[in-house]
Structure 1
Amino acid sequence: MGLDKTVADAAEAVADIPDGASLAVGGFGLCGIPSALIEALLHRTTSRLAVVSNNCGVDDWGLGLLLRAGRIARMTSSYVGENKEFARQYLSGELEVELVPQGTLAERLRAGGAGIPAFYTPAGVGTQIGEGGLPWRYGPGGSVAVASPPKETRVFGGREYLLEEGITTDFALVRAVIGDRHGNLVFRSSARNFNPLAAMAGRITIAEVEHLAEPGELDPDQVHLPGVFVQRVIRVHPGDPAAERRIERRTVRTEQEGGGA
């Protein structure tokens, strides 16, 4: 592959993602989600996806669109409370779900991207996370068809820790505010929480960027993720509905609360 990693559009970028692929998807709530790439996947027939992401969007945006279309078979997530369809599919046995503590999920992605097969953490000790038995998939009548297994434990310095495995995926989809043609990426604010980690975990990482820079334009000190982790780059254009930024939960103050006239 040449140094210029740009491709024409999102449809071309996701064209080789097959049925049953595993995906690491960046974003935090609706902040920094690769909405154009998700939209491109929605327009394909790709199904049975195993997705690793902090959350699953909302019912009508982000990964929630793929979920509603029945394209996702398994989710590994930390927080799923904003998506009613997610709850319905999980409780009806249509969707397999592995819930992971947020910090553990972040480190599992980072470890996978760094080539670290596993690590020990105190998070989850003494709970079903460590002891097993969490429902991953429900069966008929609310029975548990698939449950989480117990995790290996070890004591260090008198404290018990769980062994957690690193995560790698076939593909990763991420969004950056700036990227150059070599795949170097810059993220903004909360979009930096999971996007770099998801990008590291993917064997093939596809980045959508709001501003495309030419090689040499980015100061190396600006770069949050080096291009070695990125294989494809697309630019999302202003005004493209698929690239819209949405607010997950908009709150406003009344004039009295804000002290306005």
Structure 2
Amino acid sequence: MFCSGWPASWRCPRGAGAPPARREVESRFRRESPMKKLYPNAEAALEGLLFDGMTICAGGFGLCGIPERLIDAIRDAGTRDLTIASNNAGIDGEGLGKLLRTRQVKKMISSYVGENKEFERQYLSGELEVEFCPQGTLAERCRAGGAGIPGFYTKTGVGTLVAEGKEVKTFDGEDYILERGIRSDLSIIKGWKADESGNLIFRKTARNFNQPMATAGRICVAEVEEVVPVGSLDHDAIHLPGIYVKRLIVGSPYDKKIEFRTTRPRPE
């Protein structure tokens, strides 16, 4: 007979009303649960999620905390006409700069792009659409989108080019501009350590934009350096709950890339 409230595949002895033993339930649940998040590689984790013209939120700051393996997989998939929201666009040949080099990006929503010559070339030639956004505003736009907030008012950018074409309202004698929350079809982020349920810990400054970007996407795919069993992480140390992470890969090993290396004092 079947015990009320338990899946049909979990059979109880005839006439018994007790559920299966706890250990049996846990092991069966792990085998049969559809919530398996760990994928063998970036290509498998992105399968069925990519399409031309999509919007992607990408975590990272410079080359710190960027989802390198997922970016490579998007490049190799050849997905085009992308709109990407990210603090910056990587550097030439690294990070999101790889997608710029292959002409897969149609529009960038960014706050700093000064280290990417290919970005500059495409923008000045009219090949790339750019929406510049103050750094704090960009973070809040992604956070708002993830929280279901369609827009908010801020003083940042009032009276500058940032305010052009945006609604302005006055509160307590001061002007504020309306900024729209950002929602994306996909979020790609980089974490340090995760458990099998997708609970994530970021390491130091790599936390940066990864957390707000994760919540802004319809689906979030994360790459991490290490995956541990559920229960191994201190719950007070978790930065991003696993409810936000739908797919997960281990991206290690990583090369430590450096944007600037100073070998001697700069001339005065």
Same fold judged by TM-score > 0.5?
yes
Show structure 1 runs of 5+ residues with no match.
133-149, 255-261
- Matched residues, number: 232
Show structure 2 runs of 5+ residues with no match.
1-32
- Aligned equivalents of 1:244 and 1:195: distance in 2? 19
CA displacement at 1:4 relative to structure 2 = 2.7
Which has the larger share of strand?
A: 1
For 1:169, what is the secondary structure of its paired residue? coil
For 1:244, what is the secondary structure of its paired residue? coil
In the alignment, which residue of structure 1 is the partner of 2:9?
none
Alignment root-mean-square deviation, CA: 1.2
1:146-192 CA-to-partner distances (Å, cap 9, x unmatched) read: xxxx1111112221111101001000000000111111111112211
- Aligned equivalents of 2:263 and 2:185: distance in 1? 41
Question: Are 1:186 and 1:222, in contact at CA under 8 Å, matched by a contact in 2?
Answer: yes
The one-letter code matched in structure 2 to 1:43 is D
For 2:257, what is the secondary structure of its paired residue? coil
CA displacement at 1:45 relative to structure 2 = 1.6
The one-letter code matched in structure 2 to 1:118 is G
In the alignment, which residue of structure 2 is the partner of 1:52?
85
For 1:81, what is the secondary structure of its paired residue? coil
In the alignment, which residue of structure 2 is the partner of 1:227?
242
- Aligned equivalents of 1:53 and 1:175: distance in 2? 13
In the alignment, which residue of structure 2 is the partner of 1:15?
47
Bigger Rg over Cα: 2
2:115 to 54, 73, 82: 82
Question: Are 2:65 and 2:208, in contact at CA under 8 Å, matched by a contact in 1?
Answer: no
- Aligned equivalents of 2:138 and 2:94: distance in 1? 22
Question: Are 1:209 and 1:235, in contact at CA under 8 Å, matched by a contact in 2?
Answer: yes
State whether structure 2 residue 215 is matched by structure 1 residue 183. no
CA displacement at 1:3 relative to structure 2 = 3.2
In the alignment, which residue of structure 2 is the partner of 1:113?
146
CA displacement at 1:245 relative to structure 2 = 2.8
CA displacement at 1:252 relative to structure 2 = 4.4
CA displacement at 1:244 relative to structure 2 = 2.5
In the alignment, which residue of structure 1 is the partner of 2:23?
none
The one-letter code matched in structure 2 to 1:246 is K
Change (3 A) 1:223 1:253: farther
- Aligned equivalents of 1:12 and 1:40: distance in 2? 9
1:216 to 204, 227, 231: 231
The one-letter code matched in structure 2 to 1:56 is A
Whose relative contact order is higher, 1 or 2, with alpha carbons under 8 Å and at least 6 apart?
A: 1
1:98 to 124, 131, 136: 131
Question: Are 2:142 and 2:213, in contact at CA under 8 Å, matched by a contact in 1?
Answer: yes
1:134-156 CA-to-partner distances (Å, cap 9, x unmatched) read: xxxxxxxxxxxxxxxx1111112
The one-letter code matched in structure 1 to 2:226 is H
CA displacement at 1:15 relative to structure 2 = 2.4
Question: Are 1:35 and 1:244, in contact at CA under 8 Å, matched by a contact in 2?
Answer: no
1:49-97 CA-to-partner distances (Å, cap 9, x unmatched) read: 1100000001111100010000001100000000000000001011000
- Aligned equivalents of 1:70 and 1:46: distance in 2? 10
The one-letter code matched in structure 2 to 1:110 is R
In the alignment, which residue of structure 2 is the partner of 1:248?
259
Moved more, 210-219 or 2-11: 2-11
Q: After superposition, where does 1:155-166 map in structure 2 within 5 Å?
A: 155-166=170-181
TM score, norm. by length of structure 1: 0.86
CA displacement at 1:2 relative to structure 2 = 2.9
In the alignment, which residue of structure 2 is the partner of 1:125?
158
- Aligned equivalents of 1:252 and 1:214: distance in 2? 43
Percent of residue pairs identical: 53
For 2:211, what is the secondary structure of its paired residue? helix
- Aligned equivalents of 1:205 and 1:249: distance in 2? 30
- Aligned equivalents of 1:167 and 1:62: distance in 2? 21
